[in-house]
Amino acid sequence: MKLEPEIVDLIKWLFTGLAWLVSVIVTYHIGKRGKVDDLKIRRRHELVEKLSVLLQEDHQIRKGLNRQFNSNFNHLERAEAYEAFERHESLYQGMRSSIERCSEIKYEMHTLKRDIAIYIKEELLLEIEKYINSTTFTYSTDGFGFLINTYGRSFFENLLNEENINIQNTSYSKLMKGLRNISH
């Protein structure tokens, strides 16, 4: 059985068209996957950078507050130091602002931890949790802060706790090293 030359040309054109269609579909899917990967990489990079900045800021503020507390109150007993801090509100306004910023950063880090969870290894996620937990404390308040407000006292108890300092320093080092090694 011999095919007519027109039919042979038609089959060639059909195969050429079919090959072109398959190559277009494959190229589209590869390109689409590349764009999705680029978006994921960009998102991971943004989240890692944001976490790194927050972590560095929090760690530096806490170290600074520790130094300030010791330089201002080292000559007093702890109870007297806490009372002096609470009594002289305007004198220690800078320290109060730093304490407030620590609270804001902690909230941001907690929120960011959920967003970044799918982009980093579980060990780093556990270190973030460990760092955040070492900065967590409880305090009492009457709701207005006039009669009962132990926030400053509780913050400094947590800040000056040697175990918490060691956990924060260790977690900070591990996190910074781990965040630097995340491939973008």
DSSP characters over 141-152: B-SSSSS-B-HH
* Better-scored residue on pLDDT, 102 or 28: 102
Residue 119 has which token pair? 């982009």
Residue 8 has which token pair? 């042979």
pLDDT tens-digit map of 24-35: 788 777 777 777
pLDDT tens-digit map of 122-139: 999 999 999 999 999 887
CA 138 distance to own-chain centroid: 23
pLDDT tens-digit map of 60-99: 999 999 999 999 999 999 999 999 998 888 899 999 999 9
CA dist 128 and 122 (Å) reads 10
Torsion sign (Cα): 143, 144, 148, 151: positive
pLDDT value for 184: 55
pLDDT value for 39: 78
% of the chain exceeding 70 in pLDDT:
94
pLDDT value for 73: 93
CA angle 50, 40, 117 (to 5 degrees): 55
In the Cβ-directed half-sphere of 129, how many Cα atoms lie within 13 Å? 9
Answer yes or no: is pLDDT of 147 > 70.
no
Q: Can you name the residues that pair with 149 across neighbouring β-strands?
A: 141
